[in-house]
Chain A
């Protein structure tokens, strides 16, 4: 059920990327897709009644091993979130430049981009 909702969130982002005309809306659709993929990867590593992968004082290593959630997706998604910020800033820079060139955010008005 949770995986399905995550997938529907991804599809809403895909709809925003493919059907919208405003370039800011397209950027926001890409952001929604990124959120859903990150959330999906973290949810894959969740264990029922799990604890965060941080060893408390006086905790046995075997007990920790049997209760902790998966740390590997968390480490990789941490990288992915920061890279998403870099991608977002680059896309916004291109959008500002296009606005200065054409005076609009509407992608159908940007005739010179057509190949």
Chain B
């Protein structure tokens, strides 16, 4: 039952992403990519990942604001798409080869519904699930992983976020260039 719901939502995501890439107006393409993200958030909620669903929701709203800031002042929102024919054919052939290889690779994955930590007893998820409450005191195992077992990852994540926002501010500022012109 839940697989059918996931498949329907994934088909909606595919339709939304095709509309996003093929429409002429940039504002409507940004809104349709946000709808793709919200469908993804619903899927996360259905398959037992409420933390990811909440985070995805917040990130969607923030990225919608950022992308609208990028396009709202720009008067030229449509671009004539006359691509050279052979380049397009070559790229589509490359994507098709990639498609075939990916189809082969997916056949070797475990079936949907049996995660790999149940097949391999050495996997770290077993320990996190069995001893997570005893060792860290957190009821939510995801929280105990990101803040306790793998706290250095979270530190690195905060560093990357800080660095990227510093980079964006350094690119966008106009202050230094004015001083150089004097």
Contact = CB atoms under 8 A, between A and B. Distances in A.
Of the four ranges (under 10, 10 to 19, 20 to 34, 35 or more), the interface on chain A belongs to: 35 or more
Nearest to A3: B106
Given A71-B129, A76-B153, A89-B66, A5 B10 contact: yes
Given A2-B10, A12-B18, A105-B76, A88 B128 contact: no
A9 B125 contact: no
Contact of B125 (A54, A70, A90, A97): A70
Interface string A75-97: 11111011111111110111111
Contacts, number: 246
B95 A11 contact: yes
Contacts of B103: 4, 7
B106 A25 contact: no
29 contacts: A1-B3, A1-B7, A2-B6, A4-B103, A7-B103, A12-B14, A12-B18, A15-B21, A15-B95, A24-B29, A31-B33, A42-B49, A44-B115, A46-B115, A51-B48, A53-B140, A61-B130, A71-B142, A74-B51, A75-B150, A77-B52, A83-B161, A86-B160, A88-B63, A88-B67, A89-B165, A92-B70, A93-B168, A97-B172
Nearest to A50: B48
B98 A74 contact: no
A18 B39 CA distance: 25
B55 A81 contact: yes
**Most A Cβ at <10 Å: residue of B17, B55, B66, B91:** B17
Nearest to A10: B102
Contact of A95 (B70, B94, B154, B169): B70
Is chain A's binding surface mostly helix, strand, loop or mixed?
helix
Interface of B: 3, 6-7, 10-11, 13-14, 17-18, 20-21, 26, 29-30, 33, 36-37, 40, 43-44, 47-52, 55-56, 59, 62-63, 66-67, 69-71, 74, 76, 79, 81, 83, 88, 91-92, 94-95, 98-99, 102-103, 106, 109, 112-118, 124-126, 128-130, 132-133, 139-142, 145-146, 150, 153-154, 157, 160-161, 163-165, 167-169, 171-172
